[in-house]
Amino acid sequence: MHIAILADPIDNQKAGVHYYTKNLAEALLKIDKKNKYTFIHPKKNEFFKDKEHFIIKSNRHIPGHESYRKFIKIPRLLKKIKPDIVIETCHIGPFNLPKSIKRATVAYDLTPVLFPQFHTKQSSIGHKILFGKVLKNVDLILSISENTKKDIIKKYNPKGLIEVIYAGIDKTDYPKLKRPLKAPYILYLGTIEPRKNLKILIDAFKELKKEKNIPHKLVIAGATGWKSNKFLKKTAKNKDIILTGYLDNRKKAEYYKNADMFVYPSIYEGFGLPPLEAMSRGVPVICSTGGSLNEIFRNHALMFDPHDKKTLKYHISNLIENREIRKKLSSHGKNYASSFIWEKTAQKTLKILEKVINT
């Protein structure tokens, strides 16, 4: 079996899609020595050094170049190398392939379509035009949650097979992790953009500072996304709120390990890797019920409606004051997170790919 993977996110992202694509690729290569893998991506990257790969350059500054690349250049290469199946890991594609080549796409969530106000106009319009066509024409949709699958069926009712396969998490054991702050702190980690609903967390934190004089800092870690400049300028003025910017894996582990709690207030998520990563480091988690988060975390974290600041404040205060709840949640969460393994994700993915190819 010859599997081609369109791996652009490994080159051009640092957020969840990059993390998913890179870890799935590594896990597939680790467990599967029988099948052939070919990666297609836009620029030089050490990750692909010992792997079969093709670079098809991307230039977003030239009008129409991305469309030419996706609709003409990549399909032309795929017709030449003739894989059995092509996986698009960024959910818009693959395009213009003969029926002899099976098509699969990974669907993370439908936020650009369901919540266009949280995205750039370009992203929202592009997804509205293409997403439905992609989902209706692929042979396989790899959904990362039941909630995303439900949204896809409700919105598009595609003909192809939809398979739900949960992602894994990084389990690297880093020795001698340093404590990044002397003061106790509450941690959020993720891309800084409107859907993450950080205003409610900041407001709850400020109010608890004023009402209960909690000793904590609030750490907001992660790369800057879209529509966030005003938020960043306003937040930077508060000495109790620390913006770290993008963190590498070791730094992430340091911030997770030493946090008093992790709070994830997102309005809508397709899965929710950061809360699981926090759990795996023994950190008690407070999580919103937005999108798939309720599915993944409802029995393993303190939950709140993403618009319910009162409950969020109660949970934060409760974890600060109640050592037993913190200890119980930490132990339970760590045990739960241990079941999310990339090799398991890869095994299930490989099994369904073989099924689609042989159909």
pLDDT value for 191: 87
pLDDT in tens, 218-260: 999 998 877 777 777 778 778 999 999 989 989 999 999 999 9
In angstroms, rounded to a whole number, what is the distance separating the alpha carbons of residues 284 and 24?
27
What is the Cα–Cα distance from 31 to 346, expressed in whole angstroms? 8
Taking all residues of the chain, what is their mean pLDDT, rounded to a whole number?
92
Among all chains, which residue has been given the structure tokens 């069926």? 153
pLDDT, position 111 = 83
Q: What is the pLDDT of residue 135?
A: 87
Q: Which of 186, 170, 356 is nearest to 273 (CA)?
A: 170
Place of tokens 């949650």: 145
pLDDT at 49: 92
Bond into 83 cis (ω within 30): no
Residues in the chain: 359
Strands of the 285-288 sheet, one edge to the other: 241-245, 217-221, 185-189, 261-264, 285-288, 302-304
> For 108-161, how does the pLDDT look when each residue is reduced to its tens digit (9 = 90+)?
988 888 887 776 777 777 777 788 888 888 999 999 999 999 999 999 989 889
How far apart CA 257 and CA 280 sit, in angstroms, is 9
- C-alpha to C-alpha distance for 298 and 293, rounded to whole angstroms: 7
Please say if the pLDDT value at position 172 is more than 80. yes
Decide: 89 and 21 in contact? Cβ < 8 Å: yes
With bands split at pLDDT 50, 70 and 90, how would you rate the model's confidence at 188?
very high
pLDDT tens-digit profile of 189-212?
998 888 899 999 999 999 999 999
Other beta carbons within 10 Å of 14: 14
For residue 16, the model assigns a pLDDT of: 81
Tens of pLDDT, residues 15-26: 788 899 999 999
Tens of pLDDT, residue by residue over 299-357, are 999 999 999 999 999 999 999 999 999 999 999 999 999 999 999 999 999 999 999 99
Q: What confidence score (pLDDT) does residue 90 get? A: 86
* Residues 130, 7: Cα–Cα separation, whole Å: 19
3-state secondary structure of 35: coil
Q: What per-residue confidence (pLDDT) applies to 66?
A: 82
Kindly report the pTM of this predicted structure. Answer: 0.91
d(CA 226, CA 34): 42
Sort strands 285-288 and 102-107 into parallel, antiparallel or unpaired.
unpaired
CA distance 183 to 213: 14
Sequence-ordered strand ranges (E) for the chain: 2-6, 36-41, 53-55, 85-88, 102-107, 140-143, 161-164, 185-189, 217-221, 241-245, 261-264, 285-288, 302-304
What domains are defined for the chain? 2-167+341-357 (3.40.50.2000), 185-337 (3.40.50.2000)
The number of beta carbons lying within 10 Å of the beta carbon of residue 310 is 11
